Amino acid sequence: MSEAGRFEAHEGPEGPGDEERRAGQPYESDGQPYEGDGDRGENGHTGEGAGGGSGQDPDGAGGPGPDRPARIPTPRASVEDGGRPLPDLADPDDLAPVPLDLPHDVLKSLLGAWALAACSAAETAAVEDHLGSCGNCADEARRLREAVGLLHQPDSLDLDPGLRTRVLASCLERRPPRIPVPEWARPYDAETARLDALLQDFGDAEWHAPVRLRWFESDAAKSRRTTVAGVIAHLLSVDGLVAVGLGLEDPLTEVVGAAVRQAVGPAERTEAFWRTSHFPPTRSVRGPWREQSHGLVRTVSFTGGQAGGLAVSYGDFELPLHDAMLDRAFECWVHAEDIAEAVDYPYQPPAPRHLNKMIDLATRMLPTALARRRQTGLASPARGRHLGIAGEPGRSLRLEIEGAAGGEWLIPLDSPAAVASADLEVAHVALDGVEFCRLAAGRVSPEEAAAGQVGDREAIRDVLFATAGLSRL
C-alpha cells in the first residue's frame, strides 16, 4: 500500500468531527476540510463498492485521490445496539432440551443405546416418554437393561481360596462322606488342590520359567535357582518322605535308583532328583506329584485318622504324621507362591483356620530351634536356674499373631522342656499371620520382619532368627 493509502484507527474520545461523520457531514482530518462525494450505502460506507474488505474503494467509485486521505469504514452494529432484549441464560426454560417428536420405529431403534446410557438428553427424554405408553417397548427396554448388567466383567477371575472348602462343607452336610479326610490332613488336601488348579493351564513357557528358592541357614540367606517344573519335582521328592513313612512306594526309586538310600533329608533327596534325572524336569512331573498327593490323602483317610502319631523321618529330626502333613501343606503353599510370582499370577494365602494350624506348628517347633541355635553358639545362653529344668516355669516370650488366623502363644526361651509362664514373660512380639509364615519360610529376613517389639531385645532377636531358621530347601 502507498503512503497515501495508510491510516490509523481513531481511538480517542469523540469530538465534533465524529458527530458530523455519523451525520454524513463534511469533517476535518489533519486540519483539512473533507467533502464526501459519494452516496452512503446501507452499511454506512461511502461509495457503491464500500465494504470490499481492503480499506480502498474500487476504481471509478469515488476512491481517494492522491491528495485525499483514505476513508475509514464504520464498524458493524453489534447485537447489543439493536434495541432487542438479550436472552436470560439464568432461565432454566431456555436451557431445557427441545423435545423430539420421533416415530415409533426410530424410538424402538434407540432402545439399545438408551440401555447403555449412550443417548443424548433429548433422545433419552423422548425414549422414556415413549416407554410410558408402549408396553412392547417397555418390556424390550427392561430386557436390554438386564442384559447390560451381565456385560460387567468382575474385577478378578480368581476364585476365593475358601470357596472349595465351603462347597465341600455344604455337600458333606447333606451327605457325609463314607471315608472322611482327617482334620489334620485337610490343609494338605486343600493346598495341593489349589496348586494343581494353578498348574493345569500352564504351557511350556510357564513350566520352564525361572524360580529362586530361598531359605535361611546359620543366620545367612541361601538360595537355589530352578524352574517351575523343578519346584514340583522338589515337592514330589520331599512328600515322598511321608509316603515312605506310610509304607507307600518311594517316588524317587524309579528316577534315582539305589542312590535314594543315601538321600535321607529333604535337601539331599531334591538334589539327587535334580542331579540324576536324564532331562530337566518338564510338565511330565505334574502327573506323578498329583498322583502321590492323592495317594497320601486317600491312605490317611482309610486309616481313620489313627495313624496321626506315626513318625516321619526328615533325616536329622522326626515329626508325627499329623504334623508332617501340616508341614507339607505349609511347603506346598509357600512354593505355590514362588511359582505364582515367577509367572506373575496372584495367589492367596490359605484359609484362616488352616493358616492358624501352620502357625501353631511353627510355634511348637521354636523351643527346639532355639536350643539348637544355643548349642551352635548362634543364640545367647540361657540365664540362671531355668536352664534344663524340665517341667518348671521358665522365661517366656509372648508371640501375638494378628489377622484372621491369629492368636497368642507363650514360647519358653531357656529349654524345650521348660513350661512357658506368663509370670516370667520377658518380651512381647506382634506379627501379622502371613508375615510370620513368610519369615518361617525364609522369604523375609528377621531384620525386615515388620514386628512390634517390647521387652528383652536379645530374646526377641533369638526368636526371630530361630523362626527364620525353620526354613529349609
User: What average pLDDT does the chain have?
Assistant: 79
What is the predicted pLDDT for the residue at 59?
46
CA separation for the pair 44, 74 (Å, rounded): 7
Name the pairing type of β-strands 393-402 and 311-313: unpaired
Residue at 279: amino acid letter: F
- Cα separation, 469 vs 446, whole angstroms: 10
Flag whether pLDDT at 92 surpasses 60.
no
What is the pTM assigned to this prediction? 0.64
pLDDT at 145: 85
Q: What is the pLDDT of residue 396?
A: 94
Would you state the pLDDT for residue 261?
65
Query: For residue range 34-67, what is the model confidence (pLDDT) as tens digits?
Result: 444 444 444 444 444 444 444 444 444 444 555 5
Please, are residues 427 and 410 in contact by the beta-carbon 8 Å criterion?
no
| Secondary element (H or E) of residue 148 | helix 135-150
Phi and psi, residue 89, nearest 5°: -70, -15
pLDDT at 81: 54
- Choose between 384 and 371: higher pLDDT: 371
Alpha-carbon span 396 to 300, nearest angstrom: 36
pLDDT reading at 398 higher than 60: yes
Sign of CA dihedral 349, 353, 358, 363: positive
What is the number of other CB atoms lying within 10 angstroms of the CB of residue 352? 15
290-299 residue pLDDT tens: 999 999 999 9
pLDDT of residue 66: 52
pLDDT of residue 362: 96
Q: Residue 309's pLDDT is what?
A: 78
237 within 8 A of 251, measured Cβ to Cβ: yes
pLDDT digits (tens, 9 = 90+) for 320-362: 999 999 999 999 999 999 999 999 999 999 999 999 999 999 9
Q: Which residue has the higher pLDDT, 62 or 266?
A: 266
Q: 268-291: per-residue pLDDT in tens?
A: 889 888 888 767 788 899 999 999
On whether the CB atoms of residues 76 and 43 are closer than 8 A, the answer is yes
Which H/E stretch holds residue 461? helix 457-469
How are the residues of the chain apportioned to helix, strand and coil, as percentages rounded to the nearest 5?
45, 15, 40
Hey, what's the cell of 394?
521358665
The yes-or-no verdict on residue 83 having pLDDT over 50 is yes
Hey, what amino acid is at 344?
A: D
Task: Please determine, for residue 84, whether its predicted confidence score (pLDDT) is greater than 70.
Answer: no
Contact 359, 401 (CB under 8 A): yes
Q: What is the mean pLDDT of residues 403-432?
A: 92
Q: Is the pLDDT of residue 240 over 50?
A: yes
